[in-house]
Structure 1
Amino acid sequence: MAHNQFALLTQRRFLPFFLTQALGAFNDNVYRQAIIGLLFYLGVSDAQRTLYTNLAPALFILPYFLFSATAGQIAEKLEKHTLIRITTTMEIVIMSLAAIGFLTQNMAILLVALFGTGLQSTLFGPVKYSILPSVLKPEELTGGNGLVEMGTSISILVGMIFGGLIFKLAGDQGPVVAASAIVLLAVTGNLVSRMIPRADAGEPDLKIQWNPAPESLRILRMTRRQPAVRNSILGVSWFWFVGTVLTSQLPTYAIANLGGAETLYIFALALFSVGTGVGSMLCERLSARTVEIGLVPLGAFGMSAFMVDLYFARPGAATTTGLEVADFIAQTGAWRIMLDLVGIGVFAGFFVVPLFALIQNRSPKNELSRVIAGMNIQNAAFIVLAAVLGVVVQRFFHWTIPQVFLALAIANALVAIYIFTIVPEFLMRFLSWVLVRTLYRLRVSGTERIPDEGAGLIVCNHVSYMDALILSASIPRPVRFVMYYKIFNIPVMSWIFRTAKAIPIAGAKEDPEVMRRAFAEIEAALADGQLVGIFPEGALTKDGEIATFKSGVERILAKNPVPVVPMALRGMWSSMWSKRDGRLRRMRVPRRFRARVEVVADPPRDGAAVDAPALEAQVRALRGDCA
Structure 2
Amino acid sequence: MNTTKKANWLPLFITNFLGVLNDNYLKYLVFFISTTWMMKDKESIVIMLASALFVIPYIAFSPIAGKLARDHSKAKIIQRAKLYEIPIMAIASLGFILQSVSITMFAIFLMGLQSCLFSPAKYGIIRDIGGKEGIPFGTGAMEMLTFMGVLIGTYIAGVTSDISLIDSLAPYRTIIVCCALILFAVMGWLFSLKIAPRETVPDDEEQTTLNPVAFLINSYKWSRRIPGLNSVIIGLATFWAIGSLLQMNITVHCRNMLELSDTATSSIMALVAIGIGAGCYVTGVISNKQVKMYLVPIGGTGMLICVASIFIFNPETILFTVLIVLTAFFAGVFKIPLNAFIQDRVEGRKLGLILAYNNLMLFTFILLSAGVFGVVETMANSLMVFGAVTAITLVITIVAWLRIPGAGRIKA
TM-score by length of 2: 0.89
Instruction: Check the 8 A contact 2:304/2:390 in 1, yes or no.
Output: yes
- Give the corresponding residue for 1:181: 180
Instruction: Check the 8 A contact 1:34/1:164 in 2, yes or no.
Output: yes
SS in 1 for 2:8: coil
Q: CA deviation at 1:104?
A: 4.1
Instruction: Check the 8 A contact 1:313/1:337 in 2, yes or no.
Output: no
Q: CA deviation at 1:96?
A: 2.5
SS in 2 for 1:227: coil
Instruction: Check the 8 A contact 1:299/1:350 in 2, yes or no.
Output: yes
- Give the corresponding residue for 2:233: 233
- Give the corresponding residue for 1:193: 192
Say yes or no: does 1:86 pair with 2:80.
Answer: yes
Q: CA deviation at 1:141?
A: 1.6
SS in 1 for 2:197: coil
- Give the corresponding residue for 1:291: 291
Say yes or no: does 1:353 pair with 2:336.
Answer: yes
Q: Distance in 1 between matches of 2:261 and 2:38?
A: 21
Instruction: Check the 8 A contact 1:291/1:357 in 2, yes or no.
Output: yes
Task: Name the CA shift for 1:407/1:91 in 2 (closer, same or farther; >3 Å).
Answer: closer
Report the residue type matching 2:386 in the other structure: F
- Give the corresponding residue for 1:245: 245
1:411-434 deviation per Cα after TM superposition (whole angstroms, max 9, x unaligned): 323322223223453212xxx33x
- Give the corresponding residue for 2:136: 142
RMSD: 2.6
Instruction: Give the number of equivalent residue pairs.
Output: 406
Report the residue type matching 2:194 in the other structure: M
Structure number with higher relative contact order (C-alpha < 8 Å, ≥ 6 residues apart): 2
Q: Distance in 2 between matches of 1:25 and 1:368?
A: 22
1:6-50 deviation per Cα after TM superposition (whole angstroms, max 9, x unaligned): x78x83421000000100011112222334455367x44336655
Report the residue type matching 2:402 in the other structure: T
Instruction: Check the 8 A contact 1:77/1:201 in 2, yes or no.
Output: no
Instruction: Check the 8 A contact 2:154/2:269 in 1, yes or no.
Output: no
Of 333, 347, 362, the residue aligned with 2:345 is 362
1:263-296 deviation per Cα after TM superposition (whole angstroms, max 9, x unaligned): 4422332332211111100012222321111211
Say yes or no: does 1:405 pair with 2:386.
Answer: yes
- What pairs with 1:87-102 in structure 2 (closer than 5 Å)? 87-102=81-96
- What pairs with 1:61-460 in structure 2 (closer than 5 Å)? 61-169=55-163, 170-201=169-200, 203-206=202-205, 209=208, 211-213=210-212, 214-314=214-314, 328=317, 334=318, 336-396=319-379, 398=380, 401-428=382-409, 432-433=410-411
**Mean CA deviation greater in 220-229 or 191-200:** 220-229
Say yes or no: does 1:33 pair with 2:24.
Answer: no
Report the residue type matching 1:386 in the other structure: S
Identity of aligned residues (%): 28
SS in 1 for 2:53: helix
Report the residue type matching 1:421 in the other structure: L
TM-score by length of 1: 0.60
- Give the corresponding residue for 2:15: 20
Q: Distance in 1 between matches of 2:387 and 2:105?
A: 35
Instruction: Check the 8 A contact 1:297/1:426 in 2, yes or no.
Output: yes
Greater C-alpha Rg: 1
1:54-87 deviation per Cα after TM superposition (whole angstroms, max 9, x unaligned): 3322221111111100111001111111111111
SS in 1 for 2:408: helix
Q: CA deviation at 1:210?
A: 6.5
Task: Name the CA shift for 1:410/1:55 in 2 (closer, same or farther; >3 Å).
Answer: closer
Q: Distance in 1 between matches of 2:31 and 2:406?
A: 45
- Give the corresponding residue for 2:166: none
Report the residue type matching 2:52 in the other structure: A
Q: CA deviation at 1:351?
A: 0.6
- Give the corresponding residue for 1:524: none
1:423-449 deviation per Cα after TM superposition (whole angstroms, max 9, x unaligned): 453212xxx33xxxxxxxxxxxxxxxx
Report the residue type matching 1:289 in the other structure: K
Q: Give the structure with the larger strand fraction.
A: 1
Q: Give the structure with the larger helix fraction.
A: 2
Instruction: Check the 8 A contact 1:280/1:349 in 2, yes or no.
Output: yes
Instruction: Check the 8 A contact 1:219/1:373 in 2, yes or no.
Output: no
Report the residue type matching 2:374 in the other structure: V
Q: Distance in 2 between matches of 1:341 and 1:228?
A: 30
SS in 1 for 2:77: helix
Q: Distance in 2 between matches of 1:394 and 1:187?
A: 37
Flag structure 2 segments of 5+ consecutive residues without an equivalent.
164-168
Flag structure 1 segments of 5+ consecutive residues without an equivalent.
319-327, 329-333, 434-472, 474-627
Q: Distance in 2 between matches of 1:50 and 1:302?
A: 29
Instruction: Check the 8 A contact 1:72/1:370 in 2, yes or no.
Output: yes
Task: Name the CA shift for 1:134/1:270 in 2 (closer, same or farther; >3 Å).
Answer: same
